[in-house]
Chain A
Amino acid sequence: MSVENVNLTIDGRAVQAAVGTNLIEAARLAGIEIPHFCYHPKLAIAGNCRMCLVEVGLPQLGPDRKPVLDAQGQPRVNFGPKLIIACNTTVSEGMVVLTRTPRVIKARRGVMEFLLINHPLDCPICDQAGECRLQELAVDYGQGCSRFVEEKEHKPKRVVLNEKITLDDERCILCSRCIRFMRDVAGQDCLGFVKRGSRSTLASYPGREPATNYDLNIVDLCPVGALTSTDFRFRQRVWFLKETASICPHCATGCNTTIWSREGVVYRQTPRDNAAINQCWMCDYGRLNYKFINDPDRLTAPQLGRQDATWADAIAHVAERLAAVRAAGSKIAGLGSACATTEELFLFAKLFQALESGLLDSVPRTDIADNFLLNADRNPNMRGAQLAGVAANPPGSRIAEIAAGIERGEIKALLVLGEDAVAAGLRAELLAKLDLLVVLDILPGATTDAAHVVLPGVSFAEKGGTFINAKGRVQKINPALAAPGQARPEWEILRNLLAAVSKAWKKPAPDFPSLGKVFAALADETPALKGWTWEDIGSEGRDL
């Protein structure tokens, strides 16, 4: 079905927009911003903030339904006596919209004055300050001082909506975005306004507070600081935070996110628009699951038998020991996490090619999926692990084989990339039978405790790479922070290990000076990625 376009003029600019487009979106096409609070492109239209009032004129039609022309041969346009809200007006042929006339500006000033009557002067302590629509539009349409001499309306502050959200009712401008989101998108009709007039207060239905996995999206939606994330509340002002485009690493959906960090500390994650994946939402499970990045127990130095060592020593030691194991005729197995990037898994597979051993697998992680964003597969990159040839088919089916091999004493060395082998079924007694256990991980655990060599890797927020989601979309993650201590991105560790092993085997060592080069080699050897370059994957990813 082809979309029919109509022609209209917005502030003198000719715009072509599809039938059914509202005036805010049509103006956005022309590069004109119509201020609004309650309108959101992904939510139902409420039309209650009245901030998007514009002047709309329609061509006068004659009895033949053709536009009446004036003396200059231009269609005669009749403007309505009143201003019209842009969000709930759709485009029509020949429409003329004026968004910056004195009448419109005066109306917006009036709306702002009413909104600011009861709004508290909380900006110094309000977490929204710096990204607050009310603050921004008060600069454009507010007045220097208030004419309101009466007592301000006081509403409840610090209302605990649920364990994730703290509500400040005084700051609420009653736009109802949160109500519409919970009702229409999250599927739990639990918020509403109580009382009337200036006493209107946002509240949750008694005994039925928001309890979905998507509650924190209403904090992003709130144009003011009324709904605040309890996790982020009062922790840092937003203007200090650095934004890094990333991908949520907690399930196979691969929601696009923004990591907000300052000086090596991650303060929050928010969804990033991607119409093909997550639109503009993300789940609370993924959003709040970032604390491990700043865990004080992070591994920060390579360890050889519990002792801190230098990288050169650790890499040389591993290469030498692997050579010894192979020389003795024993097998080497590998466990590559599907939480690692595709480049890392590719290098991991390459390392095993160099070692002439093919006992590789990934650990499947499945949990309950919901019918929205959260995928049952909690590995962000199982498709990548399969593509790189690390994961067996089905994933995890060779773990028992590896366990049996260790039990029988055939497998004498195990390389673990970002995985808890003990939790995956290789018990500590089994691991104790190995001659060499090398673990690349970021946090200490049962597997690193059993390891002969521990190589500290970095979290998803500290490295670049790609994840391939369940639907086969290749997406990039970007480093937001510096790696802690001596920890290094896993792809660098694996590259150095591969070079050392190749040298020990007297084979030509592939040279990967940058991540882009690793990706190029991966694309070259993978039919599904034939001809791709690192630059081809934009900020919104690319489908396989």
Chain B
Amino acid sequence: MKVRRPKLTLLDRLYLPQILAGMWRTLKHIPRKKFTRQYPEEKFKLLGKYRGAPTLVRNQAGQVKCVSCQLCEFVCPPKAIRVLPGRRDDSAPAEARIEKEPEDFIIDMTRCIYCGQCEEVCPEQAIFLKQDFAVTGYKRSELEFHKDKLLELGGIHDDPICKWKKK
């Protein structure tokens, strides 16, 4: 098929009016407030409901809240979560009588779809989707988040109920 070239007027062919119009647009924006960001150094401001990377949290006493009930593992649609259940040290102080704690808690971030079902299902409010959205790495193994990494991302989350304290 042969494409016909559009017929250009003299002004079009001069080229200068287009250059000037473009420059005028640029000049117009120079005094205005800029809305580009220096990503990734400067992060986007997200809504509170934004669902980013899932993380594990500790309570105010510094204990891991997860009791490895594995409901998140069960509910996870892409099967990204893997929990290795473990037993908590019996010699811990009275308020630490939680009995169960994950030996390891693995979230494969190459599989996670950030759906938030793990947070929804957690009976201990131990898993929260934080606002980290750019999960990157040079190797696949770097994107397999283990318990320590997840706890570091999650930080402390105040527990108003402290169910286990009443044991």
Q: CB distance A239 to B87 under 8 Å?
A: no
| The one of B67, B74, B90 that contacts A125, using a Cβ cutoff of 8 Å | B67
Complex-state Cα separation, A239 to B74, whole angstroms: 9
In the complex, whether A530 has a CB less than 8 A from a CB of chain B is no
Q: Which of A192-242 contact B (CB under 8 A)?
A: 233-237, 239-240
| The one of A125, A157, A158 that contacts B69, using a Cβ cutoff of 8 Å | A125
Q: Which of B86-104 contact A (CB under 8 A)?
A: 86-87, 90, 97-100
Q: CB distance A154 to B167 under 8 Å?
A: yes
Q: CB distance A124 to B67 under 8 Å?
A: yes
Please, what's the 1-or-0 string for A108-147, where 1 marks a CB less than 8 Å from any CB in chain B?
0000000000001101110001000000000000000000
| The one of B74, B87, B90, B97 that contacts A234, using a Cβ cutoff of 8 Å | B87
Answer whether A158 and B74 are a contact pair too, CB < 8 Å, given A124-B123, A125-B100: no
Residues of A within 8 A of B90 (CB): 158
Q: CB distance A237 to B99 under 8 Å?
A: no
In the complex, whether B55 has a CB less than 8 A from a CB of chain A is no
Complex-state Cα separation, A240 to B85, whole angstroms: 13
| The one of A123, A124, A233, A240 that contacts B74, using a Cβ cutoff of 8 Å | A240
Please, what's the 1-or-0 string for A424-450, where 1 marks a CB less than 8 Å from any CB in chain B?
000000000000000000000000000
In the complex, whether B132 has a CB less than 8 A from a CB of chain A is no
**Residue of A125, A154, A158 with most chain B CB atoms under a 10 A cut-off:** A125
Chain A interface residue count: which class? 10 to 19
Q: CB distance B67 to A157 under 8 Å?
A: no
Complex-state Cα separation, A91 to B100, whole angstroms: 47
Residues of B within 8 A of A120 (CB): 167
Q: CB distance B85 to A121 under 8 Å?
A: no
Q: CB distance A158 to B99 under 8 Å?
A: yes
Complex-state Cα separation, A239 to B73, whole angstroms: 11
Answer whether A157 and B71 are a contact pair too, CB < 8 Å, given A234-B85, A235-B85, A236-B85: no
Q: CB distance A124 to B99 under 8 Å?
A: no
Answer whether A125 and B99 are a contact pair too, CB < 8 Å, given A158-B90, A234-B86, A237-B70: yes
In the complex, whether B29 has a CB less than 8 A from a CB of chain A is no
Q: Which residue of A lies closest to B71 (CB)?
A: A124
Complex-state Cα separation, A490 to B97, whole angstroms: 48
Chain B interface residue count: which class? 10 to 19
Answer whether A121 and B97 are a contact pair too, CB < 8 Å, given A158-B90, A234-B86, A236-B85: no
Q: Which of A232-258 contact B (CB under 8 A)?
A: 233-237, 239-240
Residues of B within 8 A of A129 (CB): 69
Residues of A within 8 A of B167 (CB): 120, 154, 157
Shortest CB-to-CB span from A543 to chain B, Å, is: 42
Complex-state Cα separation, A157 to B90, whole angstroms: 11
Q: CB distance B85 to A124 under 8 Å?
A: no
Q: CB distance B163 to A121 under 8 Å?
A: yes
In the complex, whether B124 has a CB less than 8 A from a CB of chain A is yes
Complex-state Cα separation, A124 to B102, whole angstroms: 12
Residues of B within 8 A of A236 (CB): 70, 85
Q: CB distance A237 to B163 under 8 Å?
A: no
Q: CB distance A234 to B69 under 8 Å?
A: no
Complex-state Cα separation, A125 to B68, whole angstroms: 7
Complex-state Cα separation, A121 to B71, whole angstroms: 15
Q: Which residue of A lies closest to B103 (CB)?
A: A234
Shortest CB-to-CB span from B13 to chain A, Å, is: 72
Complex-state Cα separation, A350 to B47, whole angstroms: 74
Residues of A within 8 A of B68 (CB): 125, 234
Complex-state Cα separation, A124 to B98, whole angstroms: 11
Complex-state Cα separation, A125 to B64, whole angstroms: 14
**Residue of A123, A237, A239 with most chain B CB atoms under a 10 A cut-off:** A237
Residues of B within 8 A of A235 (CB): 85
Complex-state Cα separation, A237 to B68, whole angstroms: 9
Shortest CB-to-CB span from A128 to chain B, Å, is: 13
Residues of A within 8 A of B67 (CB): 124-125
Complex-state Cα separation, A121 to B67, whole angstroms: 13
Complex-state Cα separation, A129 to B123, whole angstroms: 13
Complex-state Cα separation, A124 to B124, whole angstroms: 8
Residues of B within 8 A of A157 (CB): 97, 99, 167
Residues of B within 8 A of A240 (CB): 70, 73-74
Complex-state Cα separation, A377 to B70, whole angstroms: 42
Complex-state Cα separation, A151 to B86, whole angstroms: 30
Shortest CB-to-CB span from A65 to chain B, Å, is: 59
Complex-state Cα separation, A236 to B69, whole angstroms: 9
Please, what's the 1-or-0 string for A38-58, where 1 marks a CB less than 8 Å from any CB in chain B?
000000000000000000000
Complex-state Cα separation, A473 to B122, whole angstroms: 48
Shortest CB-to-CB span from B66 to chain A, Å, is: 9
18 contacts between A and B (CB under 8 A): A120-B167, A121-B163, A123-B69, A123-B123, A124-B67, A124-B100, A124-B124, A125-B98, A154-B167, A157-B99, A233-B87, A234-B85, A234-B99, A236-B70, A237-B69, A237-B74, A239-B74, A240-B70
For the complex with contacts A235-B85, A240-B73, 6 further pairs of A-B residues with Cβ separation under 8 Å are A124-B71, A124-B124, A129-B69, A157-B99, A234-B86, A237-B70
- What 6 A-B pairs come out closest when comparing CB atoms? A124-B69, A125-B100, A124-B123, A237-B70, A125-B67, A124-B67
B interface residue numbers (CB < 8 A to A): 67-71, 73-74, 85-87, 90, 97-100, 123-124, 163, 167
A interface residue numbers (CB < 8 A to B): 120-121, 123-125, 129, 154, 157-158, 233-237, 239-240
